[in-house]
């Protein structure tokens, strides 16, 4: 008890006279005492409890700041935090795209899939991708409505931030509406529309099969890709401290020539590997570029707002 009282007295004396207290003394005092012990030895009755609380609160805050290892809140967190939302949005956009394809197929060849082979292929793809039946039925009905125009595919090119280029893929039944919506989002985000051809040449069009990293291991994916004549396998970005949920939203991309695409799907089915086919193609950057964290956040915001537009099916960028 005499030792406890001596260390307490030194601390309180320093507080009273506003003298800096050595860290070693604070640590020693905090390790030896709590407020209930001080109450028992009568010190809190003689020293201002508010001063004590203020000093120890200040010291604890300083200790936390000085001893906590800095956490990176830039590129890694940006990628991981939005993975699940991005995949949900991707699924929604994919379903919307198939709905538009149903309308276009019916416009070209009627509602009978027996005679309309294009419609039959779209309906088969909808079944493979588990597109809800109500979406299929709604778009079949929509195609027959008076005044419903056919959908056409359009690309819009955008200068992003940090030198990043973006290509906005859209399917629209009214081009003037779509370009006005895209232009409005780009302007509001502080980016700039590019002239046709300014960005698109930085990408290549490819057939891509997406396989979740948790559904197959690397060797299995590479074996299937090699046997089926794939061009490349793009591995997901994985961090050592990723959670199970993080990894569940990471994908391998099997890049394939158009003529070998169905072979890859067949081999994946044979080996019981779940997969997501593309929507006819994906745009892959020829040379991905790395940008700073500020540009990452700005580009993410721009892409998210573009994807919120009903007519936009996908946004591709050459950012790493």
DSSP E strands: which ranges in 222-305? 232-234, 251-256, 276-277, 282-285
Q: Which two tokens stand for residue 102?
A: 């149903």
pTM for the whole structure: 0.65
Secondary structure in 3-state letters for 194-239:
CCCCCCHHHEEEEEEEEEECCCCCHHHHHHHHHHHCCCEEECCCCC
Q: What is the pLDDT of residues 126-184, one digit of tens each?
A: 887 788 999 999 999 988 888 888 889 999 999 999 999 999 999 999 999 999 999 99
Which residues of the chain have a pLDDT value below 50? 1-2, 4-5, 9, 11-12, 14-19, 21, 25-78, 80-81
DSSP 8-state secondary structure symbol assigned to residue 70:
P
DSSP 8-state secondary structure symbol assigned to residue 230:
-
**Per-residue model confidence (pLDDT) at position 245:** 63
**Per-residue model confidence (pLDDT) at position 244:** 61
Question: How many Å is the Cα radius of gyration of the chain?
Answer: 30
Strand order in the sheet with 192-193: 192-193, 152-159, 165-172, 312-317
Q: Which two tokens stand for residue 182?
A: 């895209």
Report the candidate in 59, 108, 297, 320 with the shortest Cα–Cα distance to residue 189. Answer: 297
Q: What is the pLDDT of residues 212-246, one digit of tens each?
A: 888 888 899 999 999 999 999 998 876 666 666 66
């Amino acid at each position: 008890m005499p030792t406890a009282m001596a260390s307490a007295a030194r601390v309180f004396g320093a507080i009273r006279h506003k003298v800096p207290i050595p860290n070693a003394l604070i640590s020693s005092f905090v390790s030896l005492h709590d407020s209930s012990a001080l109450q028992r030895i009568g010190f809190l009755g003689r020293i201002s409890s508010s001063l004590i609380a203020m000093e120890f609160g200040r010291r604890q805050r300083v200790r936390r700041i000085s001893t906590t290892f800095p956490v990176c809140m830039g590129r890694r967190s940006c990628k991981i935090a939005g993975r699940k939302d991005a995949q949900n949005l991707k699924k929604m956009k994919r379903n919307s795209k198939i709905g538009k394809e149903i309308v276009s197929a019916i416009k070209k060849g009627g509602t009978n899939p027996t005679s309309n082979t294009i419609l039959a292929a779209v309906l088969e793809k909808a079944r493979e991708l588990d597109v809800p039946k109500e979406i299929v039925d709604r778009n079949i009905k929509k195609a027959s409505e008076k005044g419903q125009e056919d959908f056409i595919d359009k690309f819009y090119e955008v200068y992003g931030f940090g030198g990043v280029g973006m290509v906005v893929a859209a399917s629209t039944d009214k081009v003037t509406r779509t370009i006005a919506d895209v232009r409005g989002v780009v302007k509001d985000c502080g980016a700039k529309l590019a002239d046709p051809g300014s960005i698109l040449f930085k990408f290549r069009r490819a057939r891509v099969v997406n396989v979740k990293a948790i559904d197959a291991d690397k060797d299995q994916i590479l074996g299937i890709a090699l046997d089926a004549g794939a061009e490349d396998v793009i591995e997901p970005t994985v961090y050592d401290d990723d959670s199970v949920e993080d990894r569940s939203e990471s994908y391998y991309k099997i890049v394939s020539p158009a003529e070998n695409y169905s072979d890859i799907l067949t081999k994946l089915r044979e080996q019981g590997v779940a997969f997501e086919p593309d929507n006819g193609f994906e745009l892959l950057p020829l040379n991905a570029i790395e940008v700073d964290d500020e540009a990452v956040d700005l580009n993410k915001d721009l892409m998210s707002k573009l994807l919120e537009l009903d007519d936009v099916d996908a946004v591709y960028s050459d950012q790493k």
